[in-house]
Structure 1
Amino acid sequence: MMLLIRSPWNLCRDSRVLGSLFISTRPVIRFSPHIDSLYLRISRSGDPNISMACLLDQWVEEGRPVKRSELHKIIKQLRKYRRFSHALQVSEWMSNEMNNQLPTADIAIQLDLKSKVHGLDEAERYFSSIPETSKVSKVYCALLNCYAEHGYVEKAEAIMQKIQQCSSISVLTYNVMLSLYCRLGKYEELETLMEEMKEKRICDRYSYSIRLNAYAKTLDIEGMEKFLLQMEANGAAVDWHTYALPAKAYIKAGLSEKALQMLKRSEHLINESSRTRRIAYETLLNMYAAIGNKQEVYRVCSMCKNLGRSRNSVYVSMIGSLLKLDDIDGAERILEEWESDNTCSDMRIPNMLIGAYCKKGLLDKAEALISRYLKLGMKPEGTTWAHFANGYKEQNDMEKALEMVKKAIMADRPVSRLNPFTLSACIKHLKEKGDSEYAGDLINLCRQRGIITVGTYDRLFDYIQNDNPDAIMEQHFLLDRKYQPPDDEREDT
């Protein structure tokens, strides 16, 4: 089905904006520069400030058709890479061009995206606007998932009853509720629901995995082992992930030998022809690194090379695992392999080495690496500059640290969170220089971009305005739930 455009493309007239939209900065491109497609244009436009509606309108202004199937593919990929705002813009553009007559599957996706981008209130408003004839089981399931993601148990349970009125409840719906109960630690409710599913004979391997994960989360090792034995005795479907979950629990409990046994059993069940093989290898890498088994990490790294052209996520896992083992030399060798195999830029990968260098005070190596990538045309992200800010702060070079904090905030892909100790040190540095106004502007900008919480914002302003040193004591920031190490620095599995 083709979509006909009624409104002119009038949102992006500045040629400089067009240049930033459509010129690739990738250091290596394997395909012809003359190849162009709507998918490529959108996939390359990672800046959250770029309007997808603008880009889609411009595409049609060029006289090119847009297929609904192509938009579905684009939305799917954007969701996969967590570009939810852009995915929603594409979905809404499609909705507008089809006079809001979306199929129920598209309505369900848009409902989910509105919840992720604008919050639950907006999702509920959208659900209320949906015609009653379109409020089928699939749409109710999407709303159920929204409530589950936001932790609203009572609303989720009410929606389950609505779904039951529409049709019989699917195993997917049950699994959403199981996941919600597991995440919120409502294990009695989880057990009751699981028994109900067993009676109806609708449990699948995901249901069993969720129950197994509940034991693992609470480190109920005895309960987990008994449940696993029951699964095996009852002939429940098991795969590599079934044994990866107990391995994770054993690792957290400090039972490395038992974890190793489970990882071996998990590895034995990896289907060499399955699409999940890559994910399985990535999981094994992280877990072998977590128990400090360098030999197994290198063995799985060699297996990853048999995947053909490795995806960037594989390189992330390989380098991350070696860095957990403090093997920087090995991580550098993997980076070199990635550079020779690279088909698209992904700053996550060099960021990992940059983060490791900055942690160890090897700022000369970090500077040399980023300088090389800048010459290749790669564009650093906010996380890149945040690593440098932390490194300079540790060396007490506060002018450079402040410069890096500004870059981290103002990058096209700004950092999602800053180390509050680095930020507070920069604010303290500015105050001591007598530049409290600049410090206040910096804090305001951080808050506007969602980089710091209201609590951190209030404490930093209290320090600036009232000269209250207690406001920036470290224990306050340790309680700040907004702050976690960046994704490429996390130590969990």
Structure 2
Amino acid sequence: MKAFLSTLLNPNWKSAGQNALKRFYGSAASSMQPRYGSGRLYRRISPVGDPNVSVLPILDQWIEEGKTADRVELQRIIKELTRFRRYKHALEVSKWMTDKRYIPMTSLDVAARMNLIFKVHGMEQVEEYFGNVHQRFKHHVLLTALLNCYAQEKSLEKAEATMEKIRDMGWAKTPLPYNIMMNLYYSMGRWEKVDGIMKEMDEKGLYHDRYTVGIRLSAYAAAGDSAGIDKIVEVMESNSNPKITLTWNTYGVIVEGYLKVGQLDKALAMLKKLEGQIPFSNNTKHKNSGYTYLLTNYADLGKKEEVYRIWDLFKQKEKKINNTGYMSMMGSLSKLDDIEGMERIFEEWESRVLSYDFRVPDHLIEAYCRKGLLGKAEAVLERGIAKGGVPSAATWCYMAGGYLLDGQEPKALEALNKAVSICPPDFNPSKDTLIKCVEYLEKHGNVENAEELIQSLEDIRAFSPILREKLSCLIKDPSIAEAEQGGA
């Protein structure tokens, strides 16, 4: 239940510590395979990639055809959509489940909806929703969900006040709320607070789970404390804590820690141990995640031969590699600047005739645009659309950068506008691309269009208030961009 709740509350961790913790816990939801009926319903919903296109007509049509959709099926669909950051669609399904199917909500359903409201509408609407929730739901599950939203918002005072209420109600009996607070302190660089939370857990006799240790490990890494990482590794390998088992996930977190402090030899040694853990996993999805993790980290270390060795091993051990595997290999080769290798893998992927997921060719498009090979990028884009693929916001951002590099500002602006029109919440376009497009609009007297672009990006929380202020100042004083470029 604890792992399941943590997945519901935090499906999209962003910081280094959060990524580490998500791997430590794994996803209880992902282990529940959809039943045949819900799988078919999800397959109808899945192709609707544009968040501005509602999935409600698909759901209504499903019922009109005489098919059913019970609580468990819809919960699984919500989790799957959330996993792919399709928060708006997941929220639609959640509301449809109660408003159209009249399925009573559980505490976990309410917690999941709070997280989706936060992703789609922001904290103000979360607080309004929480205030209107029936009193019977307002126990530790919902307060923990509220705490998590405040933590994601980095509203420190409100998070601390909520945590204090959880303590006062006697609900701070598991590591989960402590882990959320630890991660908030970690993300804000408050190392002393991280130690204080761990001390409080010790005083209350609460065990440190993998999540707890993962945050502390990430904090040591962020602080450049190699000795601290060694201490965590010693604890893990000593088997002194039965709640922490050494799996490929745990080795993966240690690898990241050593990479951050520049201990490359220790990182490589841990990667070898990680590789040895993969064959012992009975979960195919976990095995695939292990191989993709190895690909990414060997690429980070610049070990090209190891990347190809793991890829060959991946194909040998797992006869069917999905889109995620190809995405990882393409991304790894991009880090190594191996465009020829990317082209070969891309051709291999196309020959597999998997569902056309633009996140695979996105890596090649980005590399082409970065290298000034705009014609090749356009060819891949057009080829993907012809095959039924739907370009993502990232695709159009890459193209915008490529057009800017080629001196085609009008096309860059057109591509950026396409990206904005389908941007998911919290999407982060390239800062340089944004500044250059706003600068271009200002230079040609399109101040109103520049302001509209900034407002539309702010509406989807695509950048920080600081960047918004810079862009707004740029409209008033174009010399700002020149000064920034000169100082870069």
Specify the TM-score bucket, using the shorter chain as the normaliser: 0.7 to 0.9
Amino acid of the structure 1 residue aligned with 2:249: H
Q: How does 1:427-438 map to 2 (within 5 A)?
A: 427-429=438-440, 435-437=444-446
Partner residue of 2:308 out of 263, 280, 298: 298
Preserved CA contact (<8 Å) 2:281 2:287: yes
Shift of 1:341: 2.4
Q: Which residue of 2 aligns with 1:109?
A: 112
Q: Which residue of 1 aligns with 2:191?
A: 187
Percent identity between the two aligned chains: 39
Shift of 1:324: 0.9
Q: Deviations for 1:440-490, whole angstroms, at most 9, x for unmatched residues?
A: 3254134214356666566556555x5x331323628999xxxxxxxxxxx
Q: Which residue of 2 aligns with 1:121?
A: 124
Q: How does 1:2-401 map to 2 (within 5 A)?
A: 37-97=40-100, 101-164=104-167, 165=169, 167=171, 169-198=173-202, 200-233=205-238, 235-236=240-241, 237-270=245-278, 271-274=280-283, 275-305=285-315, 306-401=317-412
For the residues of structure 1 that align with 2:159 and 2:165, how far apart are their CA atoms?
Answer: 10
What is the CA RMSD across the aligned residues, in angstroms? 3.1
- Cα–Cα, structure 1 residues 320 and 365, in superposed 2: closer, same or farther, change >3 Å? same
Q: Which residue of 2 aligns with 1:18?
A: none
For the residues of structure 2 that align with 1:454 and 1:178, how far apart are their CA atoms?
Answer: 25
- Cα–Cα, structure 1 residues 323 and 474, in superposed 2: closer, same or farther, change >3 Å? farther
Preserved CA contact (<8 Å) 2:50 2:422: no
- What is the TM-score when the length of structure 1 is the normalising length? 0.80
Shift of 1:354: 0.8
Q: What residue ranges of structure 2 are gaps of 5+ in the alignment?
A: 1-37
Q: What residue ranges of structure 1 are gaps of 5+ in the alignment?
A: 1-34, 480-493
Shift of 1:406: 4.0
Q: Which residue of 2 aligns with 1:24?
A: none
Q: Any idea what SS the aligned residue of 1:473 has? A: helix
Q: How many residues align?
A: 440
Farther off after superposition, 277-286 or 343-352: 277-286
Q: Any idea what SS the aligned residue of 1:378 has? A: coil
For the residues of structure 2 that align with 1:148 and 1:421, how far apart are their CA atoms?
Answer: 29
Amino acid of the structure 2 residue aligned with 1:337: E
For the residues of structure 2 that align with 1:458 and 1:153, how far apart are their CA atoms?
Answer: 23
For the residues of structure 2 that align with 1:147 and 1:396, how far apart are their CA atoms?
Answer: 43
Q: Which residue of 1 aligns with 2:11?
A: none
- Cα–Cα, structure 1 residues 382 and 76, in superposed 2: closer, same or farther, change >3 Å? closer
Q: Deviations for 1:149-196, whole angstroms, at most 9, x for unmatched residues?
A: 222344334434444425461232332233223222232232232234
For the residues of structure 2 that align with 1:478 and 1:121, how far apart are their CA atoms?
Answer: 38
Q: Any idea what SS the aligned residue of 1:260 has? A: helix
For the residues of structure 2 that align with 1:128 and 1:427, how far apart are their CA atoms?
Answer: 40
- Cα–Cα, structure 1 residues 243 and 65, in superposed 2: closer, same or farther, change >3 Å? closer
Preserved CA contact (<8 Å) 2:166 2:172: yes
Larger radius of gyration: 1
Shift of 1:355: 0.8
For the residues of structure 2 that align with 1:411 and 1:78, how far apart are their CA atoms?
Answer: 16
Q: How does 1:466-485 map to 2 (within 5 A)?
A: 468-473=477-482, 475=484
Amino acid of the structure 2 residue aligned with 1:284: L
For the residues of structure 1 that align with 2:417 and 2:487, how far apart are their CA atoms?
Answer: 23
Q: Any idea what SS the aligned residue of 1:326 has? A: coil
Shift of 1:285: 1.4
Q: Any idea what SS the aligned residue of 1:436 has? A: coil
Q: Deviations for 1:274-313, whole angstroms, at most 9, x for unmatched residues?
A: 3422222222211111111111111111222222322222
Q: Deviations for 1:18-66, whole angstroms, at most 9, x for unmatched residues?
A: xxxxxxxxxxxxxxxxx99432222221211122334433433444433
- Cα–Cα, structure 1 residues 202 and 58, in superposed 2: closer, same or farther, change >3 Å? same
